[in-house]
Amino acid sequence: MDSDYTVGLGNNDIKTRAAANQDSIKFWESQADNLYWFKKWHTALEWNAPFARWFVGGKTNASYNALDVTVQKNPDKKAIIWEGEEGQRRVLTYKDLLIQVSKLANALKRLGVEKGDRVTVYLPMVPELVISLLACARIGAIHTVIFSGFSAKSIRDRVDDSKSKVILTADGGRRRGNIVQLKNVVDEAIQGLDFVEHVIVLEHTCTPVTFTAKDKKWKEFVDSMESSCDAEMLDSTHPLYILYTSGTTGKPKGVLHGTGGYLTHVFATFKWIFDIQNSDVYFCTADIGWVTGHSYVVYGPLMHGATQVMYEGSLDYPTPARIWEMISRYGVTILYTTPTALRMFMKYGDDLPNSNNLSSLRLLGTVGEPINPQVWKWYFKIIGKDKCPIIDTWWQTETGGAMISPLPGLETIPLKPGSAARPVPGVYLSVVDENGNKVPPDSKGYLVIEKPWPGMLLTLWGDDEKYKTVYWSKYKNMYYAGDYAIKDKDRYIWMLGRADDVLKVAGHRLGTAELESSLVSHKAVAEAAVCGIPHEVKGESIITFVVLKDGVSSNLQLKEDLVLHVRKTIGPIATPDQLHFVTKLPKTRSGKIMRRLLKAIAQDEKIGDVSTLEDEASVDEVKAAFAELK
């Protein structure tokens, strides 16, 4: 095998994989046994394709597993070491967390929140964000977290879709020395949404905000509640959360996850991937607004009673060495971050990591986008000093937990820079062609998942049909992930990026259709087309083309207005890098925008077959737009 990177932790458990391969359902049952159940399930998997229900008949609770299990053994174990951007610190033990979670759970109950009700959470990366998720889980309310970089319009769409009764937010959040006005954004988002009954506002930045009749102050209201609250005994299949994510249509999809199956997947993978030990200090840089934060900041580490560092702010602020200083300050042993962050750190040069003490690190993880082999090697050498395994984990909001990853907590295998290695035990996947036939080793194809797995989404919130169409209609009985991949002759998987119209910009998932609908919603715009092109740091950058309505003339001001419009309707994470005015878009004769063509032109590549193109002049215009940039 062509790899010089056989770095493991000495674990060599061959039984686990063997057990999975013998009977994957029984195997997942044995993993579910590691959780706490109020009542054991009677059926491991009900597979009413394509709907999976895991551990049916079982009763459990996510918050009980994340808190009470550790509080009973080790109440003073540190759960969260929080640091704010300005250097503020807070340490919360498992016992502290349980008290805070119980108070908030009681507060939600007081406001009339019942099992199955939705609660929207729009908070910065502060301990109260973790507390919010667990308080909902404790009483069986379904949490739906919205990343604090989304705009009022995005929040409104999500709150409206989930029909949340209560919103948990803060006055503001901190980012790069600025204050993000979260409460004001919520006020704007929920105007006229009468079903939103209450908003609980955490005073975090102490920026002045206006209080309305719906608002309750966190400190006054929540702190006065009882500090104990029994965890509801919930069905294993009870929904734990909705998390909205971008797809190929204009409207984000509400991915719905259950309880028992999801927790089993997250518990097992967290152990296999990170080899978590009692003495570890874990640091995942993901925001809880994304799935990585749900699974591997909240549920995974807490179910294992781990100690973790949580940080609010930019990893390179106020100095580009911020992250390395934090690792050294807290003796972080496990770091889990993104290729975008690594590319940024790499640009800052080796002196910064070299001049900080990183000797505590023993495991390094990455997630969210393909990692370039040179970045992988830099991570290995400069950050890991040639002694830490690099764990490249592939998964999706929909999969709930990691699906492809080296597993140093389980086995030692040679690592290949740029490959996420092999599927985790109990997960079966293939790389197939357009017709669903397996492609030969080393050939590019589409990644599919062949069998149901415990972390898989239950459905899309309120839309079973869409769930079937998006994931289960391209191939019969196989889950279509939407990613290109290669399986090499050693059965290692190489992920090659999205095969559909989904972008990964700085690790954030955005749909081209979502960006196009945002642009088209502007009064000056008749049509829009969006594509992504490779970007040195962010992975992909957003390129937009706009056809204006008759009579509207293009100018610099309008360009700026349109960029601002996208920021306002989706959020700053969706800011286009380029915006070009054209008079027509390259389309097929049946009217489909040829994004492939836009992308090829933007990258100076051969544009290939254009026989289906409706009007060749559109291509010349796009070419001219790029020529102008050079």
Tell me how far, at minimum, the Cβ of 478 lies from ligand WTA, in Å: 15
Tokens of 272: 């296999």
* Shorter beta-carbon distance to ligand WTA: residue 235 or 392: 392
Of the chain, the end-to-end C-alpha distance in Å amounts to 43
Tell me how far, at minimum, the Cβ of 588 lies from ligand WTA, in Å: 25
- Please state, in angstroms and as integers, the Cα–Cα distance from residue 421 to each residue in 73, 264, 404, 418, 569, following that order: 36, 22, 7, 9, 38
* Shorter beta-carbon distance to ligand WTA: residue 105 or 367: 367
User: At 436, is the secondary structure helix, strand, or coil?
Assistant: coil
User: Hey, what amino acid is at 71?
Assistant: V
User: At 157, is the secondary structure helix, strand, or coil?
Assistant: helix
- What residues have CB less than 8 Å from 583, skipping those under 6 apart? 547, 621
584, 619 in Cβ contact below 8 A? Answer: no
Q: How far apart are CA 59 and CA 565, in angstroms?
A: 47
* Shorter beta-carbon distance to ligand WTA: residue 263 or 421: 421
Q: Which of 395, 357, 364 is nearest to 378 (CA)?
A: 364
Tell me how far, at minimum, the Cβ of 68 lies from ligand WTA, in Å: 28
* Shorter beta-carbon distance to ligand WTA: residue 104 or 403: 403
Residue with tokens 């290695």: 421
239, 382 in Cβ contact below 8 A? Answer: no
Q: How far apart are CA 243 and CA 397, in angstroms?
A: 8
- Please state, in angstroms and as integers, the Cα–Cα distance from residue 141 to each residue in 185, 224, 259, 429, 581, following that order: 23, 21, 12, 33, 46
Which residues are at the interface with ligand WTA (CB under 6 A)? 245, 290-292, 367-370, 392-397, 420, 481-483, 495, 497-498, 504, 509
Tell me how far, at minimum, the Cβ of 273 lies from ligand WTA, in Å: 12
618, 584 in Cβ contact below 8 A? Answer: yes
Q: How far apart are CA 185 and CA 440, in angstroms?
A: 51
Tell me how far, at minimum, the Cβ of 371 lies from ligand WTA, in Å: 6
* Shorter beta-carbon distance to ligand WTA: residue 239 or 401: 401
Tell me how far, at minimum, the Cβ of 457 lies from ligand WTA, in Å: 11
Tell me how far, at minimum, the Cβ of 586 lies from ligand WTA, in Å: 25
Tell me how far, at minimum, the Cβ of 248 lies from ligand WTA, in Å: 12
Tell me how far, at minimum, the Cβ of 400 lies from ligand WTA, in Å: 10
Tell me how far, at minimum, the Cβ of 481 lies from ligand WTA, in Å: 6
Tell me how far, at minimum, the Cβ of 245 lies from ligand WTA, in Å: 5
Work out the burial of residue 568: count CB atoms within 10 Å of its CB; fewer than 13 is exposed, 13-18 middle, 19 or more buried. middle
Tell me how far, at minimum, the Cβ of 482 lies from ligand WTA, in Å: 6
352, 321 in Cβ contact below 8 A? Answer: yes
186, 167 in Cβ contact below 8 A? Answer: yes
* Shorter beta-carbon distance to ligand WTA: residue 202 or 402: 402
Distance of CA 314 to the CA centre of its chain: 17
* Shorter beta-carbon distance to ligand WTA: residue 290 or 345: 290
130, 165 in Cβ contact below 8 A? Answer: no
Tell me how far, at minimum, the Cβ of 404 lies from ligand WTA, in Å: 7
- What residues have CB less than 8 Å from 47, skipping those under 6 apart? 452
* Shorter beta-carbon distance to ligand WTA: residue 144 or 245: 245
* Shorter beta-carbon distance to ligand WTA: residue 239 or 370: 370
Work out the burial of residue 19: count CB atoms within 10 Å of its CB; fewer than 13 is exposed, 13-18 middle, 19 or more buried. middle
* Shorter beta-carbon distance to ligand WTA: residue 185 or 495: 495
* Shorter beta-carbon distance to ligand WTA: residue 450 or 614: 450
* Shorter beta-carbon distance to ligand WTA: residue 269 or 308: 269
- What residues have CB less than 8 Å from 11, skipping those under 6 apart? 275, 408, 409, 410, 411, 412
Q: How many CB atoms lie within 10 A of CB 86?
A: 11
3-class SS string, 304-319: CCCEEEEECCCCCCCC
* Shorter beta-carbon distance to ligand WTA: residue 370 or 452: 370
Q: How far apart are CA 344 and CA 9, in angstroms?
A: 28
